[in-house]
């Protein structure tokens, strides 16, 4: 029987390079004949992609932190049911650009002290943790200019500004201490190829 697949997530502040890195890892695994799926949050299923638009477009103050948390969890539940769990059942490695750690940091640790609520909701409605998470760390000034340069129209979170990104960075660093076995800290300031090599060295022992 095929071994159940591994669930791998990439996390970090806006513009840290996690999307580039998650795609590089996806391509590397695919090119080396590993069964693999790339997906992202918010999004990753039809319904969750629709919810994504509500979350990433519009004014920074469009939603309260509580409403935002519910929307992220609604999107995540659909994504889990329709994309992530079926792929893991098929034995695929799932590479996901952001997952519940983003909610812990963005909604739980920064705008209000909502972390306990975030955890309770996660346990009730999601209940799944990745096997391994790469937290890509970067200086917020550099990351923010990268993110806004893309001009994607999805800048609602970038638009909260630099102090918010500083808080997020601290939140992600704290997660690597809270979950040291699962969350690996990666220095994202090097070239994409060098960062990819660091990540590969940590991931491949889990997959081979
Ligand atoms: P993402 O598409 O990863 O943006 P980027 O590639 O610019 O990092 O995520 C969109 C935004 O949603 C991002 O600013 C982080 C935020 N977010 C949360 O606040 N909570 C969450 O649970 C998730 C998954 C994302």
Ligand 1 centroid distance, CA of 204 (Å): 26
Ligand 1 centroid distance, CA of 98 (Å): 7
Model confidence band, residue 90 (pLDDT cutoffs 50, 70, 90): very high
Ligand 1 centroid distance, CA of 2 (Å): 33
Residues 6+ apart with CB under 8 A from 101: 9, 11, 133, 135, 172, 175, 183
Average confidence score pLDDT of the chain: 93
Please identify, by atom number, the ligand 1 atom nearest to the C-alpha of residue 152.
Answer: 7
Task: Flag whether pLDDT at 2 surpasses 50.
Answer: no
Ligand 1 centroid distance, CA of 3 (Å): 31
Model confidence band, residue 163 (pLDDT cutoffs 50, 70, 90): confident
What's the pLDDT score for residue 111?
Answer: 67
Neighbours of 194 (CB within 10 A): 11
What's the pLDDT score for residue 153?
Answer: 77
Predicted model pTM: 0.94
The string of pLDDT tens digits covering residues 55-70 is: 999 898 899 889 999 9
Read off φ and ψ for residue 206, nearest 5 degrees.
Answer: -75, -25
Please identify, by atom number, the ligand 1 atom nearest to the C-alpha of residue 100.
Answer: 22
Task: Flag whether pLDDT at 157 surpasses 90.
Answer: no
**Cα gap 200→138, rounded to integer Å:** 19
Q: Which of 61, 66, 157 to mutate to test the pocket of ligand 1 (most atoms within 8 A of CB)?
A: 157
Residue nearest to atom 12 of ligand 1 (CA): 56
Model confidence band, residue 1 (pLDDT cutoffs 50, 70, 90): very low
Ligand 1 centroid distance, CA of 89 (Å): 26
């Amino acid at each position: 029987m095929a071994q159940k697949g591994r669930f791998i997530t990439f996390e970090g502040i806006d513009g840290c390079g996690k999307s580039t890195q998650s795609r590089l890892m996806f391509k590397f695994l695919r090119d080396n004949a590993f069964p693999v799926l790339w997906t992202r949050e918010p999004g990753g299923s039809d319904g969750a992609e629709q919810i994504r638009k509500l979350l990433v477009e519009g004014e920074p103050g469009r939603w309260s932190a509580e409403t935002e948390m519910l929307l992220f969890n609604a999107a995540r539940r659909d994504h889990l049911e329709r994309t992530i769990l079926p792929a893991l059942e098929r034995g695929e490695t799932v590479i996901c650009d952001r997952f519940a750690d983003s909610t812990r940091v963005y909604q739980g640790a920064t705008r209000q002290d909502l972390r306990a609520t975030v955890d309770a909701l996660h346990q009730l409605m999601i209940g799944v943790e990745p096997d391994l998470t790469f937290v890509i760390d970067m200086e917020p000034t550099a990351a923010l200019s990268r993110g806004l340069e893309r001009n994607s129209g999805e800048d609602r979170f970038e638009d909260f500004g630099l102090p918010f990104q500083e808080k997020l960075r601290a939140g992600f660093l704290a997660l690597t201490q809270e979950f040291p076995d699962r969350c690996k800290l990666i220095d994202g300031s090097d070239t994409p190829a060098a960062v990819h090599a660091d990540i590969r060295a940590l991931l491949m022992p889990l997959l081979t």
